[in-house]
Amino acid sequence: MKYFIKILFPLFTILVFSSMAWAEEKIPVFPTTPIDVYTIYTSLAVFWLAIIGLIVVIKMKLNEIERIQKLGIDREDNKAPLLD
């Protein structure tokens, strides 16, 4: 598995994408070195994990807010005595 991620996966992606990029002598619009390709795809996976994590956190916070709103304890009590 480690070998696949470290060597075979970048090799495979570089072969596929580079063959597509150089087939008609096109300008490479994406990094072509295996290490860059590997870094970019890993970063994309981490980026999505971060997004999902943030969404989960926001959703939890929203659920908590909605629970408090349902209980009605978020509203300001105008009759509450003021402490000087």
- Site residues for another protein per CB under 8 A: 26-31, 40-41, 44, 47-48, 51, 54-55, 58-59, 61-62, 65-66, 69
The nearest distance, CB 7 to another protein, in angstroms, is 21
Which residue, 54, 75, 55, is CA-closest to 65? 75
Q: In this complex, which beta carbon is closest to another protein, that of residue 1 or of residue 71? A: 71
Q: Is 60 helix (H, G, I), strand (E, B) or coil?
A: helix
How far apart CA 31 and CA 43 sit, in angstroms, is 14
Shortest separation between residue 3's beta carbon and another protein, angstroms: 24
Tokens of 27: 């300008």
3-state class (DSSP) for residue 4: helix
* Residue 15 or 54 with smaller CB distance to another protein: 54
Token code pair at residue 6: 């470290």
Nearer to another protein, 24 or 84 (CB): 24
